[in-house]
Amino acid sequence: DAGVTQSPTHLIKTRGQHVTLRCSPISGHKSVSWYQQVLGQGPQFIFQYYEKEERGRGNFPDRFSARQFPNYSSELNVNALLLGDSALYLCASSLGLGGSGNTIYFGEGSWLTVV
């Protein structure tokens, strides 16, 4: 079975532009979360969606938004890009909300470089 898939794998954007990152969870998984990993740091939680509803939001500005579609795939959108948004963006999926027996699986990530 396919794991968590993300696209694109690498992209370069200019300051002020907008970016959309996409994620397909493992088949049957209903929860998708997004994390930002800046070089040399641990991942930071951005959003969590479960059954198409937002269930959690990390400490990120309103320039960051996300949504989950009926097929449980998800998009992360970032507006008005800043140099500091350069990072690896990780998508994670789980059967239900994280914890208990619901292992959280990660994709390979999307490398975003803002110039």
Partner 1 sequence: AQSVTQLDSQVPVFEEAPVELRCNYSSSVSVYLFWYVQYPNQGLQLLLKYLSGSTLVKGINGFEAEFNKSQTSFHLRKPSVHISDTAEYFCAVINMDTGRRALTFGSGTRLQVQP
Closest to partner 1 by CB, 24 vs 48, is 48
Query: Which of 15-23, 51-59, 68-76, 79-87 is the region at the interface with partner 1 (rule: CB under 8 A)?
Result: 51-59
Per DSSP, the residues of the chain read ----EEE-SEEEE-TT--EEEEEEPPTT--EEEEEEE-TTS--EEEEEEETTEEEEE-S--TTEEEEE-TTS-EEEEE-S--GGG-EEEEEEEESSSSBTTB--EE---EEEEE-
| 44 interacts with partner 1 by CB under 8 A | yes
Chain contacts with partner 1 (rule: CB under 8 A): 4, 31, 33, 35, 40-45, 48, 55-56, 58, 90, 92, 97-109
